[in-house]
Amino acid sequence: MFPQKPIKRIAMLSVHTCPLAVLGGKKTGGMNVYVRELSREFGRRGIKVDVFTRSQNPCIPHINDMLGENARVIHIPAGPEGPLETDEVFPHLPEFVANVRAFAEREGHGYDVIYSHYWLSGWVAHELREAWNAPVVQMFHTLGLMKERIANQPVGGDMRDLVETDIMSWADRLIAATPAERAQMLWLYRAQRRTIEIVPPGVDLTRFRPKAPNDAKARIGLRPDQKMLLFVGRIEPLKAVDTILQALAIIKDQQPALLDDLVLSIIGGNPDDPAHENAEMERLKAMRISLGLDGLVTFLGAKDQDSLSDYYAAAEALIMPSDYESFGMVALEAMASGTPVIASQVGGLAFLVRDGVNGYHVPVREPGALADRILQLLSIPGERERLAANAAQMARDYGWSEIADRLLTLFEALIPAQAQVATC
C-alpha cells in the first residue's frame, strides 16, 4: 500500500462558464453553483484551488479572488474574449490548454488533482493530465446522449458524444450525481463500472434555510395573503415551463377563485432580451397572454443566490416539470429553504423528491396531473407545512462540508495509485 498524500492544490476546470457568472442565464445554472461553492469549501480547509475558465470579457481581470480564501478564478484567453456557444469553444481548446500550462509554469507549481466539469473541460483535462502527472476526476453535469434521447434531436453534435465517450474510457474517476446518472453512463457510454462514484451536489445550509414565509414575502414585495408558485432555471424547452402555464389554465377553468391571490414567479433568463436571442422566452410570454394568465405570471429574469433564498422561503412550492435533469440543484436549494417541490419523475428529481413526503412527482408533459397536485397542495390544510418540514430535514444531509469530505477521500485515494503508475 502507498501512503495517501494529503491534497494541497486542486485544478478545477470549468471551461465554458464562469462560477462567478450571474445565475439563470443561457449557460449558467447548477454547475456554476457547484464549482463555486465546492471551491469555497475546499479553500476554507486550506486547500489551494484554481478554477480555470475561458475569458469572455477583456475588461475583467484574468485573476479573481472573489471566491474567498485560497480559491481563485483564472480567466484564460482562448479565442475571442466574448460569449461563444459550446460548440464554438471547442476549436479554441488547444489554446486554452497552452495558456493554462503557461500560467502554471509562471506560478511554479502543478496540481495534485484535476477536477473537470462538462465535456469541454474533460478534453482539456486529458491534455493537462500528463503535464502535471495528476489524476483526473470528471463530472459531466449533463449527458449529451441522454439529452438527445429526451429531446429527440441532437443537442451538442457528434463531437460532444465522441468526447464524452472518450472521457469515460480514460478518466481516473467519474462522478455521478445519482444512481440514475451512473446507470446512464454504463448504458449509453459503456463506462467502466469501477471508475464511477456516486457523490451528489451539495447545498449551502447557511444561505438556504427555513425562514418565516411572511418576512420573506415582504422582502420580495408580496402581501402576506398572497401565495406564490415558483420556477427557477434556464428558459429552454427541456425545462417544460409551458406545462406550468397549461396547468394554471386548467385551474383557471376549474377553480378560478383559487387564483385570486396566487402568482407564478419565473426566475431565469432575461425577459428583455431580443426575441431572436431566446425564442423560448418569447413563446412563453405569448402563451401567458393567449391563456389569459398575463396578470398571474411574472418573468423576473435572473436573481442572485441571496435573493433566491427569499423567493424559495416565500413560495408555496417550487415547480420543476423538466423533461430531463441530471440532478436539479434548485430543488435541493428549495428543500433546504423548507419549500416543497413538485417535479417530474426524471433524473435527479426522481432521486431528490419523494412523492407525498417532501413534495410530489408528476408525469412529464401532463399539465392535468400538475394542476391536480397544485390544487392538492393549496387546498389541504397543513399540507404545505408537512411537506416543508420533511424537505428541510432531508436537505440537511447535503451540506457542502459533507460533500467535500466525500470528494477529498476519493481524491486522496487516487494519489498513490497515480504515483504507482508513474513509477512503472
70, 43 Cβ separation under 8 angstroms = yes
DSSP string computed for 237-306:
GGG-HHHHHHHHHHHHHH-GGGGTTEEEEEESS-TTS-GGG-HHHHHHHHHHHHTT-TTTEEEEE---HH
pLDDT tens digits, one per residue of 368-387: 999 999 999 999 999 999 99
Q: CA dist 365 to 30, 119, 246, 283, 416, Å?
A: 23, 29, 10, 17, 49
- Strand-pair partners of 361: 343
**Residues with pLDDT less than 70, the chain:** 1-5, 22-28, 153-157, 416-424
- Strand-pair partners of 53: 75
Q: What is the pLDDT of residue 6?
A: 86
Q: What is the pLDDT of residue 275?
A: 76
Q: What is the pLDDT of residue 23?
A: 59
Q: CA dist 206 to 261, 318, 342, Å?
A: 31, 19, 24
- Strand-pair partners of 76: 54
Surface-to-core class of residue 102, CB atoms within 10 Å of its CB (0-12 exposed, 13-18 middle, 19+ buried): exposed
Q: What is the pLDDT of residue 421?
A: 42
The three cell numbers locating residue 252: 383557471
Say how many C-beta atoms besides its own lie within 10 A of residue 280's C-beta: 16
Q: What is the DSSP letter of 135?
A: -
Q: What is the pLDDT of residue 194?
A: 97
Q: CA dist 265 to 162, 184, 231, 300, 311, Å?
A: 39, 33, 6, 7, 9
Question: Structure pTM?
Answer: 0.92
pLDDT tens digits, one per residue of 228-263: 999 999 999 999 999 999 999 999 999 999 999 999
Which of 287, 231, 235, 230 is closest to 262 using CA atoms?
230
What are the φ and ψ backbone dihedral angles of 130, each rounded to 5 degrees? -70, -40
Instruction: Render the burial of 171-182: b for 16+ CB within 10 Å, e for the rest.
Output: bbbbbbbbebbb
- List CB contacts of 28: < 8 A, sequence separation 6 or more: 17, 21, 22, 234, 302
CA 78 to CA 119: how far, in whole Å? 16
